[in-house]
Amino acid sequence: MSGIYIHIPFCKQACHYCNFHFSTSLRLKDEMINAICKEITLRKNYLANNILNSIYFGGGTPSLMNADDLSKIFETINKYFQWSPESEITLEANPDDVDNKKLKIFKTYGINRLSIGIQSFFDADLKWMNRAHNSKEALDSIKVAQGEGFSNISIDLIYGSPTTSDDMWKKNIELALESDVPHISSYCLTVEEKTALFHQIQHKKTTAPDLERANIQFDALIKSLTSAGFDHYEISNFAKKHHIAIHNTNYWKGQSYLGIGPSAHSYNGQSRSWNVANNKKYIDSINKEILPIETEFLTPSIRYNEYIMTGLRTMWGVNSDEISVLGDMYRVHFLSNIVKEIDSGLVHICDDQYVLTERGKYFADRIAMNLFFVN
């Protein structure tokens, strides 16, 4: 089974922390939708098997699409790929776009999972982040989606913002739990280069996030959500039974996926490729039937490092037999380096899987780097 990711590179306004690829000018939206359809056609043979268990509209802001846009995209997908109502069809929605009319359109096309970018239920956080929605719209969007019959809903929350006190964060968790959604993705605020936030911090116009406070908030998050029956199945992801995200789990478990649209990444087992992150260049190139793509063929060392990086972040961990498939030297390297993490209580072995302990979850990236194979 494989998945398709479709990147919709437009947003109403730029959130100060975000360095995903998007444009705040919607001038090229129609041309972009046509180019996306054309890219799907050009790459119809990329996956070995065209039976999809997931389609994911990410962004940018896919909820800016109208019925015409979705109709064109699904018509093209349906020409070349098979999927069923059991497939996971996710669309990332911003709270300010969520209304009954839009949701009915999404349902018509088979979208059965919404990922709503709440970030916070507090206006002080949302204003500081430069989000296009307010706290009331955040709460309402979830209720309206549930009212329209969407039960498979995920919400995104950000912790570690200098505007979020520990009490505000506890309230955010409480409101997330009260909203009764079965999936929560929660990210630690990161300061990315080339964002407004990065410049504001550099010019001392705002405060940088405090790592210690972020860790306290991550701790509160894990404790509250796991006590409420969520599985902490990946560092930033929590799900109730039967609601683990199929699309993201495909990524973490090394399944193939086709990424369509500017900046989208694809993976087919042998190589990884990524499209140009520029709307105009993307459209011009696709219109000439030239894929605006760069490709990296994966050596065993890259595969090993990727497996460690992604696998360790999940509740399934990593397995030394899977590492052996890449070559015995990787298994030897892994086994000799994992010992100190086990001795420090950061990793434990569970049914032959090496999994982060509760304490290890705070050091996932550092532990992975210590295990990397450097040629």
Ligand X SMILES: C[S@@+](CC[C@H](N)C(=O)[O-])C[C@H]1O[C@@H](n2cnc3c(N)ncnc32)[C@H](O)[C@@H]1O
Please give the order of strands across the beta sheet that includes 88-93. Answer: 231-234, 237-239, 183-188, 153-159, 113-119, 88-93, 52-59, 2-8, 257-260, 265-267, 271-275, 293-297
Residue 182 interacting partner from ligand X, ligand SF4, none (CB closer than 5 to 8 Å by kind): none
Residue placing its CB nearer to ligand X in the complex, 79 or 136: 136
CA distance linking residue 116 with residue 63, whole number of Å: 10
Residue 189 interacting partner from ligand X, ligand SF4, none (CB closer than 5 to 8 Å by kind): ligand X
How far apart are CB 161 and ligand X at their closest, in Å?
9
CA neighbor of 261 nearest in space, from 92, 141, 12, 102: 92
Residue placing its CB nearer to ligand X in the complex, 7 or 333: 7
- Nearest 5°: phi and psi at 258? -110, 125
Residue 14 interacting partner from ligand X, ligand SF4, none (CB closer than 5 to 8 Å by kind): ligand SF4
Residue placing its CB nearer to ligand SF4 in the complex, 282 or 304: 282
How far apart are CB 119 and ligand X at their closest, in Å?
6
How far apart are CB 369 and ligand SF4 at their closest, in Å?
27
State the residues that interact with ligand SF4 by CB under 6 A. Answer: 11, 14-15, 18, 20, 22, 59-61, 94, 117
Residue 174 interacting partner from ligand SF4, ligand X, none (CB closer than 5 to 8 Å by kind): none
State the residues that interact with ligand X by CB under 6 A. Answer: 17-18, 20, 59, 61, 92, 94, 117, 119, 156, 158, 187, 189-190, 192
The enclosing H or E element of 6 equals strand 2-8
Rounded to a whole number of angstroms, the distance between the first and last alpha carbons of the chain is: 33
Residue placing its CB nearer to ligand X in the complex, 18 or 302: 18
Contact between residue 87 and residue 51 where contact means Cβ atoms under 8 Å apart: no
How far apart are CB 91 and ligand SF4 at their closest, in Å?
13
Residue nearest ligand X, CB atom distance: 117
Helix, strand, coil percentages for the chain (3-state, nearest 5): 45, 20, 35
How many Cβ atoms sit within 10 Å of the Cβ of residue 222?
18
C-alpha distances (whole Å) from 63 to each of 42, 128, 252, 341 are 25, 22, 25, 43
CA neighbor of 128 nearest in space, from 83, 161, 94: 161
How far apart are CB 296 and ligand SF4 at their closest, in Å?
25
Residue placing its CB nearer to ligand X in the complex, 168 or 291: 168
Cα Rg of the chain (Å, integer): 21
How far apart are CB 141 and ligand X at their closest, in Å?
10
Residue placing its CB nearer to ligand SF4 in the complex, 250 or 263: 263
Three-class secondary structure of residue 341 per DSSP? helix
Residue 23 interacting partner from ligand X, ligand SF4, none (CB closer than 5 to 8 Å by kind): none
Residue placing its CB nearer to ligand SF4 in the complex, 7 or 361: 7
Say which residues have a Cβ less than 8 Å from residue 346's Cβ, sequence separation at least 6: 356, 357, 359, 360, 363, 367
Q: Which residue has the tokens 């460690």?
A: 308
Residue 172 interacting partner from ligand X, ligand SF4, none (CB closer than 5 to 8 Å by kind): none
Residue 214 interacting partner from ligand SF4, ligand X, none (CB closer than 5 to 8 Å by kind): none
How far apart are CB 59 and ligand X at their closest, in Å?
5
How far apart are CB 163 and ligand X at their closest, in Å?
14
Residue 298, amino acid = L
